[in-house]
Structure 1
């Protein structure tokens, strides 16, 4: 059972401590993703999922191949064979992407919290909680940053602690995209705090929405402060 409060705190700390290890590549990939902004925004308009999140998932699932589905990287013009299997065929990449976000686990289109905390948890859920269950950084998020060294599920159920994921993680791409396009913002991402206490407060800095993961963490932090004051 994953402790989502602990996972959120760890993810926020990693975000603020993350430094790129393959910056040339992450900047190059980010330029390609930002260049396709309008296509991703068309899917955002139908799902509510931020276009930048859709973009980095597209890169992770299929290296931004427009002939492949956002759900699992299978061709969208055929019935998918990988999980989630049995989807499609679809008439366009956009139609397949909407299906992946609306109808497939973890149903990102149902999420309302798109603060930084919500983004990081949403991406973790999209790839699965195998890494969180092990208490290790997921390469899906952290590859290409100093927060990831090694460890990867090389196939379903088989984890290899020495295997190094060669793809960029979502965080490396997002940070490069945010440097290129300043309109990409997430509540809590702008914090430059360096102490553990301040990092744990990051979601509340930009006044996260009521009921969000960030707001829940802020309430916990305030209770702790009251008890120790």
Structure 2
């Protein structure tokens, strides 16, 4: 019960890594608001987790939705201690100059601006909470090995995840004195709905090509990310901030 009595928001919690994080958080005692643009997916995950989980439809790139999300967590659970900015989008492998502008804008909106919008809402809440109770909060951003060791033909996705890593480190330095820790996870390609996007096509040959770059020899799983997220967001990691932990089976070595 490492997260007993903690209240968390997990964006993109209706599938993939987000669902794995939500499951682990509830198993460790937290109450979780699952925010996903696919409401049914979020409801399905929440139903499987019982009364400590709740789902709502949220477009993380929409400022009004983000405000409502924060208010909903406070209204339903009575507070907020952990924000997991997990929602993200990718693009199919292609030469950097061929990505349509609307796809680029979507990557910026979901992978980057959404973190700005969420932090704009949550940081004042965590600062006030620190003054009132002595406890600030934790912000966990989902980055990627793409931001550390980029694959070719995924340039704009890679760049967005590099931004997440830098933003995490900068926020950590700025917010440390307010009792707010900011951390990130760098997963390698995983068994999630985004895998096909990154590979371009899901074939045995393409999977073998990706797996050949991962020394441990398998893709990351939602459970892997849930375990890492639970540690970083727990009091066991109270001295850790500003890190971008690689959950990558050795790919970035």
Q: TM-score range by the shorter chain?
A: under 0.3
TM-score (norm 1): 0.26
Q: TM-score, normalised by structure 2?
A: 0.24
If each structure's strand is expressed as a fraction of its own residues, which one has the higher value?
2
